Amino acid sequence: MIIKLNFGNEHIQYISCATKVGRKINKIRRDFENWIFDENKNKKYWAFENGEKYCPNYDSDAIIEWLNNVKFKKGTAKAKLITVPKSKVKKTLYF
């Protein structure tokens, strides 16, 4: 399933993932947001100011990494970035 990720300011990326994942993407998104904002779990995707963490800084790479290695580490998701969708976008998420 193709999912469009809109990060605002015309920053749009597309990911491909299993249909089973795509159908539940809104619930899965809430799980992702809980993970990305948890300083103890997400150590990689934080922006720093004056040496202090102040907010998550991410794009589709973080979502793909989380889907493949945290949420569905047994191999269900296998999400990947795609540059140009060859099939219809089924869902759009706004961040």
pLDDT in tens, 32-80: 999 999 988 988 999 999 988 889 999 999 999 999 999 988 766 689 9
Predicted confidence at residue 77, as pLDDT, reads: 64
Predicted confidence at residue 11, as pLDDT, reads: 94
Q: Return the closest-CA partner of residue 91 out of 7, 31, 29, 22.
A: 22
Predicted confidence at residue 72, as pLDDT, reads: 87
- The residues, ordered by sequence, that sit 6+ positions from 39 with a Cβ below 8 Å of its Cβ are 46, 53
Predicted confidence at residue 73, as pLDDT, reads: 82
Whether the CB-CB separation of 81 and 59 falls below 8 Å is answered with: no
Residue recorded with tokens 């934080």: 46
Confidence band for 4, pLDDT divided at 50, 70 and 90: very high
